[in-house]
Chains A and B, each alone.
Chain A
Amino acid sequence: MIDFEEELSHYKPSLEIEAVEDAIGKNDLTDMTDLMMELIKERKE
Chain B
Amino acid sequence: MDYAKRCHRIANGYYNQGLEKAKIRDLTGAAECLKKSLHFHKYQTEARNLLGLIYYEMGETAESLVQWVISMNLQPEKNRAAVYLREIQEKPGRLDAESQNIKKYNQGLYHAQTGSDDLAVLLLGRVIEFNPHFVKAHLVLALLYMSHGDYTKAGKSLQKVLQIDKLHPKALWYMSIVKSHTGRAEVERRKMDTAFSHRKMQDDDVILPPTYKETTGWLTIINITAGLALGAAVIWFLVMPAMERQLNHRHNQEMTGVLEEMNQKNLELDALREQVSSMESERDTAVSNLQTMQENEEGVVRQYQRLVQIVKAYGAEDKKTVANVYADMDISLITDPDMVAVVAEITSFMGEEGYQVLADMGNEARDGQKLDEALDYYQKSLGIKGDNPQVIYDMALIYQGRDERDKANELFGQVIMDYPNTELANLAKAARGY
Contact = CB atoms under 8 A, between A and B. Distances in A.
Contact of B41 (A18, A24, A32): A32
Nearest to B180: A1
B3 A37 contact: yes
Nearest to B60: A14
Contact of A17 (B41, B98, B139): B98
Interface stretch (B63-71, B230-238, B255-263, B266-274): B63-71
B399 interface: no
Interface string A8-45: 11010111111110011001011111101100100000
Contacts of A30: 42
Nearest to A12: B109
A24 B64 CA distance: 11
Contacts of B3: 33, 36-37, 40
Contacts of A15: 60, 62-63, 66, 102
**Interface SS, A side:** helix
Interface in B297-352: none
B84 interface: no
Nearest to B173: A2
Nearest to B120: A8
Contacts of B139: 11
A18 B61 CA distance: 11
Contacts of A23: 62-63, 66
A20 B177 contact: no
Given A8-B113, A15-B66, A16-B103, A2 B174 contact: yes
Contacts of B4: 33, 36-37
Given A24-B66, A36-B4, A14 B105 contact: yes
A18 to B, nearest CB: 7
Nearest to A29: B42
Interface stretch (B23-31, B140-148, B243-251, B358-366): B140-148
Given A33-B7, A37-B3, A20 B106 contact: no
Given A8-B143, A14-B102, A14-B106, A27 B62 contact: no
B136 interface: yes
Listed residue (B63, B66, B74, B112) with the most chain A CB atoms within 10 angstroms of its CB = B66
A14 B62 contact: yes
B69 A24 contact: yes
B95 interface: yes
B62 A24 contact: no
A11 B62 contact: no
Interface string B4-16: 1001101100000
22 contacts: A2-B143, A2-B174, A7-B143, A8-B113, A14-B62, A14-B136, A15-B60, A15-B63, A17-B95, A20-B62, A20-B65, A20-B69, A24-B73, A27-B66, A29-B74, A31-B11, A31-B38, A32-B40, A33-B41, A36-B7, A37-B3, A40-B3
Given A29-B70, A32-B10, 8 more contacts: A2-B143, A8-B113, A8-B143, A16-B103, A17-B99, A24-B69, A32-B39, A36-B4
Interface of A: 1-2, 4, 7-9, 11, 13-20, 23-24, 27, 29-34, 36-37, 40
